[in-house]
Amino acid sequence: MTGSDRPSALDPALAARLKRGADGLVPAIAQQYDTGEVLMLGWMDDEALHRTLTTGRCTYWSRSRQEYWVKGDTSGHVQLVKSVALDCDADTILVKVDQVGAACHTGDRTCFDADVLPLGQ
């Protein structure tokens, strides 16, 4: 099943605006709402976005497990949604959250602090 094959209760007008990849997914960036810290990137289809908007908790589509997952359900490191926005092309979602605990599955606060690449080389 691709993202576009899964049923969704997402508002059809919003669904019509989304530009999805061939797999029916849209990248979703999670950002700490008060500091601007970029926490992680996940993937959403229409239903994951609908669940995120209606529950106040980030729901993603796992490409490896082919199932929905709610951030923090197993780890306790929840993402409480403060706002959701589309970029100008409607092909990326920005979710501003209040991150409780680590955002990265490695246990780090963010997925982007462990492998900083050198500039100017």
The region that residue 120 occupies, defined by phi over 0 for left and psi between -120 and 50 for alpha, beta otherwise, is: left
Contact between residue 31 and residue 95 where contact means Cβ atoms under 8 Å apart: yes
104 is in an annotated binding site: yes
Q: The tokens of 77 are what? A: 């490191």
111 is in an annotated binding site: yes
CA distance 42 to 80: 15
CA distance 95 to 1: 25
CA distance 43 to 113: 20
91 is in an annotated binding site: yes
Amino acid letter, residue 78 = V
89 is in an annotated binding site: yes
58 is in an annotated binding site: no
87 is in an annotated binding site: yes
In the annotated binding site for Mg(2+), the residues are 87, 89, 91
In the annotated binding site for Zn(2+), the residues are 88, 104, 111
In the annotated binding site, the residues are 87-89, 91, 104, 111
